[in-house]
Structure 1
């Protein structure tokens, strides 16, 4: 039993988050200005233990924006190397609701792909820009601010 215990403790711990790249028919993308840090980002958050990644995306987008979505293709996997956070990003289609600030967001907006790099850091902008590419998902690493690798 000691071997099992030591193996568990030596296993690195990661946090899994999910985010939605919510894209309307006109190409505009849903973004939030986070209440906790003031950054513009795609809506998302920590995946709960009892939900699938798709359920988590739908829940997080609704909680942060008031928008209901249909969750589609996985468009990217992003690892924050300094914090051990793995983020799964899915392309989503809005199906209803009105964009409203919530307890987690001070602003919710639909922006064009040209506005994405102007509004957010490279790490979060990549998640939305990658979602516009209909090829296989991207796999990227970053340090929390800058991308450090790409596929």
Structure 2
């Protein structure tokens, strides 16, 4: 499996060669814990999510990606924001794809399933918001999580 390398405002970053709409999901359980995965491609903690496939809606992709990466079924409940900062690029070394950030972050509640690792998630866990904020993750994921935890009055659009 290839690696994913995130760059932010780095003059040495490779030039973006693709733009792929994707989704991340903040799933919060009734104990106030957040669902996180530890990615296999860069070992960072992250919200579950991934690319939106042709033929599926944003919410279908969010539910599918959450289930695939965590084993948890969820119901979408809201929007945190839309993140399209061209200073953030992700280099996928397996195919030399360099994506410009384009992620829509949704909120959800769990409705079933069991925590299950996948080929994309080395670890899967429910974690308190304070612990979640202190995990090793890319700056963009920290930003998305902080926007959710700070209960913004309206969705973030950047």
Shared fold (TM-score greater than 0.5)? yes
Between Structure 1 and Structure 2, which shows a larger proportion of helix residues? 1
Which of 37, 59, 68 does residue 63 from structure 1 map onto? 68
Partners of 1:68 and 1:80 lie apart in 2 by 29
Partner of 1:148: none
Please give the secondary structure, in 2, of the residue aligned with 1:73: strand
Which of structures 1 and 2 has the larger relative contact order (alpha carbons within 8 angstroms, sep 6+)? 2
* Gap regions ≥5 residues in structure 1: 1-11, 141-151
Q: How many residues are paired up?
A: 129
* Gap regions ≥5 residues in structure 2: 1-16, 90-99
When normalised by structure 2's length, the TM-score is 0.75
Partner of 2:54: 49
Please give the secondary structure, in 2, of the residue aligned with 1:30: strand
Please give the secondary structure, in 2, of the residue aligned with 1:71: strand
When normalised by structure 1's length, the TM-score is 0.79
Deviant stretches of 4+, over 3 Å? none
Partner of 1:138: 156
Please give the secondary structure, in 2, of the residue aligned with 1:106: strand
C-alpha RMSD of matched pairs (Å): 1.7
